[in-house]
Amino acid sequence: MKKLVKLLPIIIIGISLSAYSADKAIAPSHSITYPTGWQNWATIAASHRTDNSTLRVILGNDIAVKAARSGNTNPWPDGAVIGKVVWKDTQLSDWQAATAPGNFVHAEFMFKDTKKYSESYGWGWARWVGLEQKPFEKGMNVCISCHTPVKKRDWVFTEPASLPK
């Protein structure tokens, strides 16, 4: 028991370090570092896609949220990161006319940096799949080709939602 008490600080540090390294272990997608903490970013918009039965919230880092709420989105400013969090849709248990988030699908991000990403229209495109956040590595062109219909809107589908100031 005494031995355990002596070992306790070491055990605690060990657990903390392993939790830390687990958090850091999410590999880059398209060489882009994982944007830790996006789960607490503020909302820019939401959407329900009936063509693939998914529900989405669109979040942003501080630069993106400030740009969204001041209408400064064509182009979006350098440093803006927009995140799209995607779930399969499902029916809410206690209100059948409400569609709600079901299984988590992926979180995908656009990182605005005009210089760094000059070859991909000013954006870094990345995605992490599933609750384990496995990096998507099929190439930014997969993302870009889908976003082509909105190239005149700085490649962004999202229209920031109207909010009280």
8 A C-beta contact, residue 88 and residue 53:
yes
Taking CB under 8 A as the binding criterion, the range among 50-58, 74-82, 119-127, 136-144 that sits at the site for a copy of itself is 50-58
In degrees rounded to 5, what are phi and psi of residue 95? -155, 95
Identity of the residue, 7 or 20, whose beta carbon is nearer to a copy of itself in the bound complex: 20
Nearest-approach distance from CB 116 to a copy of itself, in angstroms = 25
Q: Does 42 bind a copy of itself (CB under 8 A)?
A: yes
Nearest-approach distance from CB 45 to a copy of itself, in angstroms = 6
Q: Which of 35, 72, 78, 104 binds a copy of itself (CB under 8 A)?
A: 104
Q: Does 21 bind a copy of itself (CB under 8 A)?
A: no
Distances (CA, A) of 89 to 107, 155, 159: 15, 25, 21
Name 142's Cβ contacts closer than 8 Å, sequence gap at least 6: 136
Identity of the residue, 63 or 113, whose beta carbon is nearer to a copy of itself in the bound complex: 63
Which positions lie near a copy of itself, rule CB under 8 A?
A: 23, 39-43, 45-51, 55-57, 59, 65, 69, 85, 87, 89, 92-95, 97-101, 103-104, 107, 128, 130-133, 149-150, 153, 157-159, 161-165
